[in-house]
Amino acid sequence: MQFCPKCGGIMMPVGRRDGKIVLKCTRCGYEMLVDAKEASRHYRLETRVPSEERVVTTSRVSEGGGRLRDQEEWEQEREEYREVLLEQLQEELEGTE
């Protein structure tokens, strides 16, 4: 997973330019280019998050009340992004190798 150097938002692959993957920040719109293989390594590693993490996060939130709700939403958002960008990356990489 790549994070925005400016705001810490999630960098989503949005396309390809000059043979590289274009990552765009979902928060501030900052763009950066990464090597396709480099990108796939980062994102594959991140998708191997054990399912237990979700359970722990959820239970922690229900105990903690409203203060952690943003974090839970943020986690869910990240999960969705992981799935989407993995699909996108696989499509991208099929063409390069």
Q: Is 41 in the site for Zn ion (CB under 5 A)?
A: no
Single out the residue of 3, 15, 17, 28 in contact with Zn ion (rule: CB under 5 A): 28
Spatial strand order of the sheet with 20-25 comes to 11-17, 20-25, 31-35
Q: Which is nearer to Zn ion, 64 or 74 (CB)?
A: 74
Q: Is 6 in the site for Zn ion (CB under 5 A)?
A: yes
- 61 contacts 69 by C-beta, under 8 angstroms: yes
Cα–Cα distance measured from residue 10 to residue 7, given in angstroms and rounded to the nearest whole number? 9
Q: Which is nearer to Zn ion, 22 or 61 (CB)?
A: 22
Size of the site for Zn ion (CB under 5 A): 8
Q: Which is nearer to Zn ion, 28 or 56 (CB)?
A: 28
Q: Is 1 in the site for Zn ion (CB under 5 A)?
A: no
Neighbours of 61 (CB within 10 A): 18
Q: Which two tokens stand for residue 33?
A: 């280019």
Q: What is the distance between the terminal CA atoms of the chain, rounded to a whole angstrom?
A: 21
Q: Could you list the residues that contact Zn ion (CB under 5 A)?
A: 4, 6-7, 9, 25, 27-28, 30
